[in-house]
A and B are shown apart, each in its own frame.
Chain A
Amino acid sequence: MPTTTPQPLVPLAREWLLIAPELWLALWGLVVLLADVAFFRDAPSARRARFLGILALDGTLIALLLALARVVPSPLGIELTNQDYSIFGGTLAADPSTAWLSLAVLILLSLLLVLSPTWDFTDHWGEFFALVLWSTVAMLLLIAAEELLTLFLALETMTLCLYVIAALERDRKRSSEAGLKYFVYGSVASAFFLFGLSLIFGLTGTTRLHAVREALVGSAGSLGLEGNIAGSVAVLLVLVGLGFKLAAVPFHAWAPDTYEGAPAPAASWIATGSKLASFVAATKILAVALGGWAAQTGSPDTPGWALPVALISAASMTLGNLAALSQRNFKRLLAYSSIAQAGYVLVGVVAAGVSRDPARAVGAVLFYMVTYSFATLGAFAVAAWLARDLGTDELDDLDGLGRRRPIMALCLLVLMLSLIGLPPFAGFFGKLALFMSALETGESGRLSLTWLVALGLINSAISAYYYVRVLRAMYLRPARGDVGRSLPSGVFWPLTVGAAVALFFGLIPGALFEPMQAAAVPLLASGEDPRGLSPETNPFATRPTEEDAARARELRRQQIEQGRQRLQPGTPGA
């Protein structure tokens, strides 16, 4: 163990401090739940929603401050340029990627908590807020996970919380159906994913992402027990599992039903926070752990999963867009749109595997996911607004919004344009950055992803048709009845913040792209420079050294030997 360097803080204490926002949020979930039980037992539902919402928001803002302390220079600060910590025995990362992304997730959470109480859709407000907070904790851990077990645990915690909040809308059959469907699809996907992980563990003997990579690079071509078959099965199973979580075609069937059926705040959290975190996890698994899985692709630089993921990406954007063309429900439209958007982002994930500059590709993925999340949260805020005032969230319900609520309509217009990917909005730059990273591929396969990029651009043009239907409803249709009768501030904030993000980062994309790229570098930190091992970069490394590993191996060997002996007939103790 490297104990020679002077240590400014007790390592363990510092490690706990570095995950202070996560711990705080987990605790605050309990506080909200207990407050609900203790003080608001008999209060009317709307009042509980308001009070608990404010309570949850307060806790989130404190967590946001704690997360901010990780970004700014401070005793807690993560040095954002070149430091690269992993904490808790290499299970979690504490580096620019977690610092920046946790900020984004917490800001999204604050907007969600502002939005949620505006529409009184459930009787279980304490549970709702607690589960939202806990799912956020899981998202933050998922973003930070450096190891398959932690990653799986975080993923499961996150989705378990989301299954429940999807079913929370009262008196609505469709909500409970949405929850059950989400649950069934999600847990089957988890089973696939887990089975794949178990095979990866078997083939490489480790669960740490970087160690998996090293093992795969070391054994290039001759993998594991049954050659490449076990490896291929493992990767395909992992892809199936990830595909479900990301709602990519052909594993997308749950998404439209869940988005339509679940109450808008829950659906928005499934579409934004969970998707953002899942994409980070997917990128880590594919680009870091499985980056060294070279199948018979003929090119040593191209990971074996690149082609399947490229096909999934192509299918997602094409089918997602085509299915969205005929939708009448606003939330269902957003669901298909999110399927298509997942396709675009997967282009960047493929690029992270094949590009000459993977950090830029991952930076583009993160940029896109962050701006997409803000835009989608704003759009769901409108859906919640409609559902609150009209009880439905059909596209026609937006009729005449441009006249009645010009500012709100303008914000939604900006969000839709950003989702189409029209300049000068963030969606355009994000999409362009994704596609550009896909074209920056190695010498041999220079134009290999051009078809995917061309397909993506053509799909963007197709997608304009259904996004413009939203604009058409708002501006070209006469106003009907009670559209947007009153404007709660809970809808105002997500919508305007989403529009501001889309516009600002569209005009000055560097302001977001640079942090995201800074986040991408440690997220990818390659196998040649295993994070945390060298005392120079991490004085607090708790990972075992080579000697420890040798000792452990010896211990295992002895255990196995003892076990064998015990199994032999005729020996004492059998």
Chain B
Amino acid sequence: MRGRPFLLIAAAAILAALGLTLAYHHGGLAAGARAERKKVDVIFKMTDNSFWRSVADGVETAAKDFDLDVTIEAPKDETMINAQIAMLRAAVADKPAAIILAASDYRLLVPSAHEAKERGIPLVCVDSFIESDDADVKIGTDNVEAGKRCGEALARIVPPGSEVAIMSYVKGSSTAMGREAGARSVLEGTMSLLGTEYSGSESKTAFQQAEALLMQHPNLRGIAALNQPTVEGAARALVALGCSGRVALVGVDNSFEILKYVERGVIRDTIVQKPFTMGYLAVKSARELIDGGHPPRYINTGSVDVSRDNMFQSENQKLLFPVAGGS
């Protein structure tokens, strides 16, 4: 019988149907597997700080958007570098889908980060970077630029040749180095620059250092404080010694306290980073790396000059004042 070809067609139709069914179910399984969310370990510099809370907010928002399971941890404060190294090691041993790190030290975290790299764990550095190429993506404020803007703000307020001081925080941190370099590039030469202080990101230390500066240098006309606790400590010292009219304080970062001082005119200008954006983009990049994509290797999230004049402008309000319970 020569009708065989038609039986073949019928057989082909069945096979096609089966194939499609399989393909569909396979797709269904793949989609099901995605439901088991990839784990991303996030290690920050410190807990209990408005800047890092904003970064965490961005991370958590993005985790929802990009379907990732994030765990955020951090040492109690920024100087506990060993604790952070231990956390990074534990994370590497845990082998998550990706690690997001804000390095407290530019050099000391390199070996552990390298280990992550060797184990094939994608690494995203946020805010503060490390002295190696092990990070797949670096996201943060251009700290040299932030420092420069800070210096420029001070230079706008105080006359040239005035005595000014730079108050930094952790000596080995990449952000601190960048900001200091930026501020120096503006102030060195035009101003009489005193030696740099390091507060260790402790507002108490900063207060004491600022108090000492103010008392030892009666001609001091300006202070550039390079991170949040340092700005806060310096502002408190200015208020405590009643020098806010005489000494202009400019800073980097914001907090409720800093904004209060900005409103009161104690802090003349502060360079505000975009922590929420940093956190969000860090997770977005992690997702792309997990999916085998190639996100940009470096993202500058930018910064904004905030002074009493523009702090209540609608585009700045959301950046400066956290909405209770997250946005």
| Mutual binders A and B | no
